[in-house]
Structure 1
Amino acid sequence: MTAPTVPLRPLRPSYDHIVVGAGSGGAAVTRRLVDAGADVLLIEAGPSGIGVADIEEPARWVALPRGPYDWGYDYAPGPQIDGRVIGIPRGRVLGGSSAINALMWYRGHPLDYDAWEADGAEGWAFRDVLPYFKRCEDWEGGETAYRGAGGPLRIERSHDPHPLADALIAGAGALGVPIIEDPNGRDNEGAAYANLNMSGGRRWCSARGYLWPVLDRLNLTVLTDCQALDLGFEGSRCVSVRHVRNGTTAETRASGGIVLALGAIDTPRLLMMSGIGDPGELKRLGLPVRLGLPGVGQNLQDHPLIRAVNFRSKRPLGPVRDNGGGSMVNWKTDAGLPQANVHAFPIQGLSAEDALADRYDLSGDVFAVGTGLMRSRSRGYLRLLSGKPGGAVEIQPNFLAEQGDMDDLVAAVDFVMEMAGTRAYADWFEGFAAPDRRLGRSEAGTFIRRGCSTFFHSCGTCKMGKDPLAVVDARLRVLGIEGLRIADASVIPVIPSCNTHAPVTMIGERAADFILESR
């Protein structure tokens, strides 16, 4: 596909629909509305990112956090992680976080979505969402009962995996974990080659799949480098977005409705800046109270990642292949669990949080395995520290606040260290690096607190449901407001056991259907 340019079109006073945020959810809903003939304005705070080598080349994604295409957010320190600050990359570019992430495409376990319905999100059980997952996909293996073909997002496995990707699969198998063909099939427990959003050695992000083919459509206007400031209302209906671009502020109306897809941090921020949120918080910030919704900014969830278990290598690793990984394993820390709860992946080089790198010798040839918790229990919050546009925000995931999360991670680290000693790693493993030996339980806890990072899966801050913290209903409409929906990770009520790109894309697909059905 030839890289396009974003046409420069004059901004009109009104459109059928305005979508704010061009990430996984926003790109999907925009494409489906445009295909249906609606006149759409898409507002994105970041640049187009088209033709940027660091975005397009999978192995270079590690250079993107803290760069010009990342919002640069941090998780607040907490006692469970030894008072450290953890960076939380969030994409600020067409494609959103799908343009700066590690290219992983997973939808988790069917039970994840049954849990959404059990939590009050009626109509979001796995049987309901599977058709939308399939609609997203152009899976290299073709259409099956669980996979889609011909959709906007190309998904492939490595054509030449690194030997460390092979070793992880064989090593997990040696410890009794099943080896599976497709982790996006009936069950995600097992070791397999990674599903990657890439083709021809290039990243296939949401912008490429959903937006590039329609940028020349006259019923789509895309504003990049444009920051949404707040929302406008007439009575109980949301009718406009106020935004600034190149120092010029404008207010643009939408006759059919507005969709927020800014993600789990900036969607609740925009709602609060518009007077929607917990009344006490809004008053503290000096913001008007338009609608009291105490769940805005609550229920924050993410998957804790231990970065990472490092090993000395018998030989040089060679050039980085694919996204620097290439395979994955999901397994259970207790055989009696209904689904896999922990995850690991290979890293073609060293990987360590500063608190670990400062304590261990990581010189020479080193490879690593990242491991983390996919069934995390801990919940956090997001709160604004300023009522001014772009003001400071406190984002607290409360990593490791639940003892069960620590228990599972201790087991996961021990599994990874045992796996490196299997025959599968005989050509690579020369000894432990970080940690430098097998650990007892107390030592493992210290290692985990120092190495705790994030999978970048922030979600849940505008949850879908019926309980007191619900912000949207099961058709993604903001409660108490007409003409306003949310289509991003913030609506997720219970974090699924996977990377969030796939479920958020599915949410965007469903949001478009809800909008079109209501016309």
Structure 2
Amino acid sequence: MPAAVSSIPRKSLVKAYDYIVVGSGSGGCPVVHRLIEDTDATVLLIEAGEPGIGVPGIDDPAEWVALGKSRYDWGYDYAPAPHADNRVIGIPRGRVLGGSSAINALMWYRGHPLDYDAWDDAGATGWRFDDVLPYFKRCEDWEGGETAFRGAGGPLTITTSRDLHPVARALMEGAGELGMPVIGDPNGANNEGAAPSNFNISGGKRWSSATGYLFPILDSPHLTVLTGSLTIGLVIEKGRCIGVRHLVDGDIVETRATGEVILAAGAIDTPRLLMLSGIGKANDLKALGIPPVLDLPGVGRNLQDHPLIQACVFRASRPLGAKTDNGGGTMLNWKSRPDLEQPDVHAFPVQGNSAEPALRETYDMSGEVFAIGFGLMRSKSTGYMKMLTNDPRGPLELQPNYLAEASDMEALVSAYHTIASLAGTKAFRDLSAGLLAPDRPLEGSDLKAFIRQGCSTFFHTCGTARMGTDDLAVTDPRLKVRGIEGLRISDASVIPIIPTCNTHAPVTMIGERAADFLKEDA
């Protein structure tokens, strides 16, 4: 964090700004930064959470897990998942400056080039990999310097481990023993194989979107940052969004935007805001007592997330030392079937025990342990988000429909067998005194039961206000909400097809593009 930043400058709220950005996460901070850096526009950034500056638990990369269900998390849960034993699965989302980039696992990973070609093919025209690569590079200050695939000098510091933990090293070495590629950078020309993870870490501390994009511009006279302010609705007149309604010290305040309002509240709260404002499926809105302003039935549909199986757990054969990096350090990407065009499954080491409660109740995991988490990055199952009341702070139904598609289970079964093979390599035999969860080789229905018990989330909720050109698209490919002037979205909700990666990098890229669209259309 820049040494001069210890607090947010206090400024009086005025009645109108050129731009209002709702949400300070991966999609919002780039918009704010570029507007302040490149224009004379006035910008109001509204964040529901706290500043979170100088909080040890946020700054320390190894302590991110404890941020879930803390004061810096919205505290959301997925609804009972029918195909995952009807378990309630927590879905952490950042409620703090930096959004989820301030509480996540600090991963910087953009997946495979074909992910973005698929966006274009699905109607998000102009979003092929060749279109978005310059924006990925613009985000980055990569430790290896600029290359054809990597950027340098950008707002986000990106590094790899200074000293790989033994479990992280074993994942790479074990993959090599199995004949899998060992590559230097998963964000390079090809992501298939084992590689050191890319982290938003600098000097041993988290480097969030707020750190990189927001803190350097806090002293700008054109920027006002308002924390602790929940946005509860949009002001729409004659088909144009002209401002927002938000809470300031408990009072409802209406603040106007003379240019545009940009929603960057994330894949849960952006569609909630649209629906609270009468934008969504008209019949659903009427049932909640919300007068429809625009019948846009795609709002809240198409919820996607990657299923993560937490986890295969091992007894350590010796003390493995203190936790390093984010508690991981490396990753492995491979194909669940040889005929696939690109990797679809993913694994990472865990310096400790990350097993889901249902597995902890089933298996003895006492003593010093480590784990391998594995999951599906090309999941086909989709769900929805639904408001259950018209209260801006009321309950939501968030349903990812994990494992609803048979092909998702098939891919995870294949991935488990690869993890079992890794456990048999010399790299893991040197660390492991045996597999604890599962405590025996699994096949058939027993293996599927293990996957259902261990099914969790990568925290990659997206797609609930997707961009495109069909009737269910919520935004057009320039991120404008269809049918409403002066309103754009810059967050994970616009993603049409979930990419094979952590969502922080693609959402930051979306924020960079949103800023360009705004400047071009001003």
The TM-score bracket by the shorter chain reads: over 0.9
TM-score normalised to structure 2 length? 0.99
Give the residue type in structure 1 aligned to 2:13. L
* Structure 2 residue ranges without an equivalent (≥5): none
How far off its partner does 1:464 sit? 0.4
Structure 1 residue 4 and structure 2 residue 6: aligned?
yes
Q: Equivalent residues in 2 for 1:125-274 (5 A)?
A: 125-274=128-277
Deviation larger for 419-428 or 133-142? 419-428
Task: State which of 388, 402, 418 in structure 1 corresponds to 2:391.
Answer: 388
Q: Equivalent residues in 2 for 1:293-304 (5 A)?
A: 293-304=296-307
Q: Secondary structure at the match of 2:378?
A: coil
Deviation larger for 431-440 or 263-272? 431-440
Distance 1:292 1:54 in 2: 43
Contact 1:22–1:43 at 8 Å: present in 2 too? yes
1:367 maps to which residue?
A: 370
Q: Structure 1: which 4+ aligned runs deviate by more than 4 Å? A: none
Contact 2:327–2:350 at 8 Å: present in 1 too? yes
Q: Secondary structure at the match of 2:453?
A: helix
1:30 maps to which residue?
A: 32
Distance 1:69 1:453 in 2: 20
Distance 1:314 1:44 in 2: 47
Deviation larger for 147-156 or 317-326? 317-326
2:489 maps to which residue?
A: 486
Task: State which of 463, 470, 473 in structure 2 corresponds to 1:460.
Answer: 463
Q: How many residues align?
A: 519
Give the residue type in structure 1 aligned to 2:147. T
How far off its partner does 1:68 sit? 0.5
Distance 1:430 1:281 in 2: 55
Contact 1:138–1:150 at 8 Å: present in 2 too? yes
1:512 maps to which residue?
A: 515
How far off its partner does 1:350 sit? 1.2
Contact 2:301–2:463 at 8 Å: present in 1 too? yes
1:124 maps to which residue?
A: 127
2:400 maps to which residue?
A: 397
How far off its partner does 1:441 sit? 2.1
Structure 1 residue 500 and structure 2 residue 503: aligned?
yes
How far off its partner does 1:79 sit? 2.1
TM-score normalised to structure 1 length? 0.99
How far off its partner does 1:186 sit? 1.3
Distance 1:329 1:72 in 2: 30
Deviations 1:291-350 (A, max 9, x none): 000000000000000011101110122110010000000000111100000000000011
Q: Equivalent residues in 2 for 1:248-397 (5 A)?
A: 248-397=251-400
Distance 1:139 1:273 in 2: 40
How far off its partner does 1:430 sit? 1.1
Give the residue type in structure 1 aligned to 2:84. I
1:430 maps to which residue?
A: 433
Give the residue type in structure 2 aligned to 1:157. T
Q: Secondary structure at the match of 1:464?
A: coil
Q: Secondary structure at the match of 1:340?
A: coil
How far off its partner does 1:421 sit? 1.2
Give the residue type in structure 2 aligned to 1:167. A
Deviations 1:250-285 (A, max 9, x none): 100000100000000000000000000001110111
Q: Secondary structure at the match of 2:169?
A: helix
Distance 2:333 2:327 in 1: 18
Give the residue type in structure 2 aligned to 1:497. T
How far off its partner does 1:426 sit? 2.6
* Structure 1 residue ranges without an equivalent (≥5): none
Distance 1:317 1:85 in 2: 32
Give the residue type in structure 1 aligned to 2:32. T
Deviations 1:213-268 (A, max 9, x none): 00111100000000001000120110010000221221000001000000000000
Distance 1:280 1:444 in 2: 42
Deviations 1:161-198 (A, max 9, x none): 10111100011111121101110011111100010000
Distance 2:519 2:503 in 1: 25
Task: State which of 12, 15, 37 in structure 2 corresponds to 1:13.
Answer: 15
How far off its partner does 1:33 sit? 0.6
Distance 1:67 1:53 in 2: 13
Distance 1:382 1:472 in 2: 17
Task: State which of 39, 48, 51 in structure 1 corresponds to 2:51.
Answer: 48
RMSD between superposed Cα atoms in Å: 0.7
Deviations 1:406-448 (A, max 9, x none): 0011111121121011011132111110110111121110000
Distance 1:363 1:414 in 2: 24
Distance 1:4 1:480 in 2: 42
How far off its partner does 1:78 sit? 2.3
Q: Secondary structure at the match of 1:362?
A: coil
Distance 2:487 2:433 in 1: 57
How far off its partner does 1:365 sit? 1.4
Contact 1:4–1:212 at 8 Å: present in 2 too? no
Distance 1:389 1:92 in 2: 15
Deviations 1:389-411 (A, max 9, x none): 21110000000000000001111
2:71 maps to which residue?
A: 68
How far off its partner does 1:146 sit? 0.2
Give the residue type in structure 2 aligned to 1:454. T
Contact 1:414–1:438 at 8 Å: present in 2 too? no
Q: Secondary structure at the match of 1:77?
A: strand
Structure 1 residue 94 and structure 2 residue 103: aligned?
no
Distance 1:312 1:440 in 2: 22
Distance 1:216 1:180 in 2: 42
Deviations 1:367-393 (A, max 9, x none): 100000000000000000001121110
Give the residue type in structure 1 aligned to 2:16. S
Give the residue type in structure 1 aligned to 2:283. G
Contact 1:421–1:429 at 8 Å: present in 2 too? no
Contact 2:82–2:401 at 8 Å: present in 1 too? no
